[in-house]
Amino acid sequence: MRVEGSVALVTGANRGLGSSFATALLDAGARTVYAGVRDPSSVSDPRLVPIWLDVTDPAQVAAAAESCADVDILVNNAGVMRASPFIAASSIDGARDEMEVNYFGMLTLCRAFAPVLDRNGGGAIVNMLSAASWVTPTATGSYAGSKAAAWALTNGVRVELRSQGTLVVAVHAGFIDTDMAARVHVAKLDPGVVARMVVDALRSDTEEVLADDETRAIKAALPHALETLYPPIQARWDERHPRPPRP
C-alpha cells in the first residue's frame, strides 16, 4: 500500500515503540499521524495529533473511530507486560490486565476501525505481537498468553477483512530497547529499526514481519518446541525456583 499521503493512528504513540512507529510513518510521508494515548500531554512531537485513547475503554475507542474517520493505517501498538507467571504469581490480576490491553484492546480497535478502513479503500492494520506469541518465557507467562491470543486474532481478522482489501500485518519481535524491556540485560532491537521494517512491510504488502534472528529461529522451531525450545526454559525456571524433595 502507499504510505505516502496516508493517515495513520498509532496506539501508545507517546513513548517506546509507538513513538518510533509514529516517527517512521511521518518520515515515510504519512499526511497525518494520530497518537492514540491515555494522556495527550505526554505526546511531545508537535507533528503528531494526540487523541484520548485508552484501548480498554470501548467508549473512547468508538469516539476515536468517529473523530479519526480518515484513517487508513491502524497500528495496534499499545501493550503491557506484568511479569506474571501462571502459577507463581500472587493473583491473576496481571494476566487479566494483559488480556484487557493486549488482546481485548486490540480486538476492540480492529472492530471499530474495520468499517473506517473499508470506507477509505481498505488500508492496513498492523498488530504488534511478539516472539512470545509462539513460546512462553515462564517469568512472563501470562504476557505470552495474551500475545498468543493476539496472534490468533490477527490471523482471523486478516481472513475476515481480505475481501475489503485491508492488509493485516503481524509483527513479531524479541526484546526491543524500550521501557518494557528495561529490566532485561540482553541485546535488544532498536525500536526505530523495527518501525522502519514495518513501514517497508506496508509498502510491499507483506503480511508478517519477523524482526530478528531469535524470532525467526523460534518460529522455525515450533514443530519441535517441546524438544528444543522448552528444555532451556525449564532448566532456568528450576534453577530459580528450586523445590525441596518430597519427604
Ligand X SMILES: NC(=O)c1ccc[n+]([C@@H]2O[C@H](COP(=O)([O-])OP(=O)(O)OC[C@H]3O[C@@H](n4cnc5c(N)ncnc54)[C@H](OP(=O)(O)O)[C@@H]3O)[C@@H](O)[C@H]2O)c1
Q: Is 147 a catalytic residue?
A: yes
The reply on whether position 136 binds ligand X by CB under 6 A is: no
Alpha carbon distance 24, 247 (integer Å): 59
The distance from CA 131 to its chain's CA centroid, rounded to whole angstroms, is 11
**Rule CB under 6 A: which of 72-91 touch ligand X?**
77-80
Exactly one of 63, 118, 175, 237 binds ligand X (CB under 6 A); which one? 175
Exactly one of 101, 153, 199, 201 binds ligand X (CB under 6 A); which one? 101
Instruction: CB nearer to ligand X: give 157 or 176.
Output: 176
CB of 181 to ligand X, least distance (A): 4
Q: Is 143 a catalytic residue?
A: yes
The reply on whether position 120 binds ligand X by CB under 6 A is: no
* Strand arrangement of the beta sheet that strand 73-76 belongs to: 49-52, 32-37, 7-11, 73-76, 124-128, 167-172, 208-210
How many CB atoms are located within 10 Å of the residue 179 CB? 10
CB of 223 to ligand X, least distance (A): 23
Element housing 218 (H / E): helix 213-221
Alpha carbon distance 112, 144 (integer Å): 25
User: Which residues in this chain contact ligand X in the complex, by CB under 6 A?
Assistant: 11-12, 14-18, 38-39, 42, 53-56, 77-80, 101, 105, 128, 130, 173, 175-176, 178-181
